[in-house]
Every structure is written in structure tokens, then in C-alpha cells.
């Protein structure tokens, strides 16, 4: 899979660091009589910064691990992910004859058949949507879902939109949101 470009968004750069340093010195001079409060606030800000950096590294490592998984590992990962999100999840695709669904999830009485597609490259087509719809019928589900670490073709989105049952498409973006939510 092609390497994803890292975003520079959120980085201060040399100019930003200089401005932050000048502001910190100005605050320290103005609050020289209240230095314990300033030191405490600076310590808290540093702790929050470190916590966020560690969290983003953990998240990046988890997404890299997902990208390295084979299909069966991704299915088992989705079971664990949905359970962390509060769903009852069952891996139905383990034996090979999954009838179009790899995982069945349930929450608040609603059952959803999930078709898992972990791609090293390329987009997921409408055949995956058709499989999820077939799986939802076979497993007596109210809706269908296709979850991938990639993106979907236009035909897959059209198939999902025109289906007689609700079909949710989780592209990489939605998967990342779910991973962040489950980790938080």
C-alpha cells in the first residue's frame, strides 16, 4: 500500500515556537508574584501535550496494525472493536461459508450484518455491498454494513443508497473515528 503523507497541521515550526516562548516569558514576568500558579499551569499544559502526543502515536500504531492484517485478522479485530463500542458482536465468517457477512452485531435490539474488507490497495466495489445485503437477509438482520480500511467506489455507494434495507459504509475515515472512540 502506498505510504500516506503525514500532515503538517498542528506543528508550530520555528516562528510559532519563538512566539510561544515570548508569550511564556511575558506571562511569567506579569505573574512573578504568583509563580506557583504559573508553574502549576505550565506543568498541566506540558502533561496534556505529552498525553496527546502519546495518544496519537498509539492511534497511528493501531491503524498501521490494521493495515497489516489479513482478512480473518481484520474480521476478528472488528469483533473486538464493536465490543469495545458497546455492541454484542459475533464472528460468523470464521468457517468460510459466511453467507455474505463476517460479523453480526447487535445493540438495542437492532441486528446488523457486517462485511469486512481489509485492502492493501484499491477501493471496495459494490460486490461487497451485495454480500452484506445477502448476509443481512440470511442472519435475520435489520441492516447491513461494509467496513474497510480503504475507500469505496461510486458503484458501491450507489448500491448502498438504493438498497431496500439500510446499508452503512465505513471507509477508512469512519474506521479511524471508531478506533479513536473505542480507545478514548
Global confidence as pTM:
0.69
Q: Which residue reads 485478522 in cell numbers?
A: 73
Average predicted confidence (pLDDT) for the chain: 82
What are the tens digits of pLDDT across the range 99-141? Answer: 889 999 999 999 999 999 998 888 999 999 999 999 999 999 9
Topology adopted by domain 71-183 = Trna Endonuclease; Chain: A, domain 1 (3.40.1350)
Tell me the three cell numbers of residue 44. Answer: 498541566
Extents of the domains making up the chain? 13-68, 71-183
pLDDT above 60 for 76: yes
Contacts of 172 (CB under 8 A, 6+ apart): 148, 149, 150, 151
HSE-CB of 107 using CA atoms within 13 angstroms: 8
Amino acid at each position: 500500500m502506498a505510504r500516506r503523507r503525514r500532515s503538517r497541521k498542528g506543528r508550530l515550526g520555528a516562528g510559532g515556537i519563538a512566539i510561544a516562548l515570548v508569550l511564556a516569558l511575558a506571562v511569567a514576568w506579569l505573574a512573578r508574584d504568583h509563580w506557583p500558579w504559573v508553574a502549576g499551569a505550565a506543568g498541566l499544559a506540558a502533561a496534556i501535550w505529552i498525553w496527546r502526543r502519546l495518544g496519537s502515536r498509539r492511534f497511528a500504531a493501531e491503524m498501521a496494525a490494521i493495515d497489516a492484517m489479513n482478512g480473518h485478522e481484520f474480521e476478528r479485530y472488528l469483533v473486538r472493536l464493536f465490543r469495545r463500542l458497546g455492541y454484542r458482536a459475533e464472528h460468523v465468517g470464521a468457517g468460510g461459508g459466511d453467507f455474505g457477512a463476517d460479523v453480526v452485531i447487535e445493540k438495542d435490539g437492532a441486528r446488523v450484518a457486517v462485511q469486512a474488507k481489509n485492502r492493501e490497495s484499491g477501493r471496495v466495489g459494490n460486490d461487497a455491498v451485495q454480500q452484506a445485503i445477502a448476509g443481512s437477509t440470511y442472519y435475520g438482520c435489520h441492516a447491513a454494513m461494509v467496513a474497510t480500511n480503504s475507500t469505496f467506489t461510486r458503484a458501491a455507494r450507489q448500491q448502498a443508497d438504493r438498497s431496500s434495507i439500510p446499508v452503512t459504509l465505513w471507509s477508512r475515515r469512519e474506521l479511524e473515528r471508531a478506533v479513536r472512540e473505542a480507545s478514548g
